[in-house]
Structures are given as C-alpha cells and as structure tokens.
Amino acid sequence: MLIYGKEIRDQIKDEIRREAMEIPMSMVILRVGEDPSSLSYVKGISKFAEETGVMAEIINLPENYSENKVIQCIKSLNDNPGLTGIMLQTPIPRHLNASRLVNAIDYNKDVEGIHNYNLGKLISREKGVKPATPKAVIRMLKAHNIALEGKKAVIIGRSMTVGSPLAVMMTAENCTVTICHSKTRDLQKEALNADILVAAIGKREFVTPDMVNENTVIIDVGINFDTAGKMFGDVHSKASAKAQFASAVPGGVGMITVAELFDNLSILSRKKV
C-alpha cells in the first residue's frame, strides 16, 4: 500500500500559518550560480512561504563569487537582526566548500539543521533543529502509525544530509539501525533483513522486488528524473507493491521536507522572541 505526505504537509502548513501571525519569521535562501536542478526545490520553498505568510527571500550570487565573498554575504545575513533563518542551496559551484559555507551560518539561523553545532546537538539528543529530510521520514512513519521501537531499520545511503542523520534519529527512536552504502557487500541480504527500509541513494528504481518482503515498510527518499522530466524514486514500483507500506514518489517524503524546513524556522524564530 502506498502512503503519502500531502496531508502531513498541510497540517504543518496550518501550524506555520498560525505561528507566522504571532512571531516574526523570515528566511533567506542563498543560491550561488544558476544550477537548474535546485530550482524546483527553491520554488517549493517560496510557495510554502507565500501560503503561510512567512517572508522568504532568494538571494542569487554570481557563479564566480569567491568563497570569501560568499562568507562575507553570510556574515551580513547573520548580523541582520530581522532575519531568523538562512539556508545555502546546493549544489554550489565546485570552487566553493559547502561545509565551510554552512558552518559560516550562525547556528541560531541554521534552518536546515546541518551546522556542526546542530549536528552535535542531534547526536547528544538535545532539542533543536534537525535536518529536514530525515525529520520528514520520521514524521511520515509516525503519522502512519508505524511503530519504530525495536524495529530493524536499514538505510541505504550515508550522506551528511539524509542517511547519516537519519541513522542517528532512528537510533534515538529505538530502532536497530544498519546503514548501507556503495561498499556494502551483500545489500540484498541486508535489505531483506529490514522491517523498515529507507532508500536514499539517488538511483532510479535501485530497490527491486527481490530486496523486500511482504512485511517491509519502505520509505523512498530518492528523487530522480528521466529525460522527459518524469519523477522516479529509488524504489521500483514492483518492490513498493510487494511491501506492506511504501511511500509514494512523487507525493511522499518530498512533500514533507519543505514543511520541515519551516518547522525548523519556527523553532529558531521562537527561540529569538
């Protein structure tokens, strides 16, 4: 059975709309260069902001800006008392170091929850902002009443924004977590062992029916496009059909991720008042 994210996204949207009337919330999305692959995500953020009455400004810096110049821009945003959130949109040009730039953002304005300070808090299990996509995965599971405690979770993908923080968050939810990656020896065996299988690979239809069984819950984080612009997840539709539950693509985790950014913005903005 396919599970969806729209209703969950709409609930968060209603909460943010209410909050935006009570506390000042505003964010800047910093883009360096014109990489088209991030445009639909940025548009989604702008739309969510419009619909909730939150101020979200997109700042486009030129492709050839030096790292020092981008950091200067980030510092001036850090110093702007009227601004409660900042995010750096990736991908960025190759001459820039994403980690240095993210860590130049004031951690009190880090809407993505990926500043080293906030990642440290995540590992220490302290309250605070958390990376948006892993948050969306956990929220999706809970909203569909899928119990986490004691479950075997297998995450395919160990990126710093999705797989790795999700492993920490699922461990905090009392799952027993296995994290797989491109050097994992027997991925099929690992996947078949999962009660909850999360695919965060970035390869269209990578998870095939022989990797899941009838009791598996699949969360498909992947977003891939064919040449005609049609969206596909990392999980083959036949694998999703075989599983107990599988999140839809499109219409699943991606629906919630943008909302989680605003949830983080609200946490940071509330801290300020």
Q: Which residues lie near ligand NAP (CB under 6 A)?
A: 133, 156-159, 161-163, 180-184, 187, 200-203, 221-224, 253-254, 257
Task: Give the number of C-alpha atoms closer than 13 A to the C-alpha of residue 13, restricted to the C-beta side.
Answer: 19
Smallest gap from residue 38 Cβ to ligand NAP (A): 10
Whose tokens are 């940025």? That residue is 42
Nearest distance from residue 202's CB to ligand NAP, in Å? 3
Q: How far is the CB of 183 from ligand NAP (least distance, A)?
A: 5
Which of 5, 45, 44 has the alpha carbon at shortest distance from 25?
Answer: 45
- For residues 41 and 117, which CB has a smaller minimum distance to ligand NAP in the complex? 41
Q: Is the peptide bond before 250 cis (omega within 30 degrees of 0)?
A: yes
Nearest-approach distance from CB 139 to ligand NAP, in angstroms: 12
161 vs 216, beta carbon nearer ligand NAP: 161
Shortest distance in whole angstroms from residue 223 CB to ligand NAP: 4
Residue closer to ligand NAP by CB (options 152, 158) is: 158
Instruction: Please work out, in degrees rounded to the nearest 5, the angle formed at the alpha carbon of residue 130 by the alpha carbons of 128 and 136.
Output: 130
The smaller minimum CB distance to ligand NAP, of residues 66 and 99, is found at: 99
Contacts of 2 (CB under 8 A, 6+ apart): 240, 245, 246, 247, 248, 252
Nearer to ligand NAP, 18 or 189 (CB): 189
According to DSSP, residue 165 is labeled: H
Nearer to ligand NAP, 73 or 256 (CB): 256
The region, left, alpha or beta by phi > 0 then psi within -120 to 50, assigned to residue 141 is: alpha
Helix (H, G, I), strand (E, B) or coil at 214: coil
Q: Please state the closest distance from residue 22 (CB atom) to ligand NAP, in A.
A: 28
Of 137, 117, 235, 129, the C-alpha closest to 177 is 137
- Residues 6 or more apart whose Cβ sits within 8 Å of residue 18: none
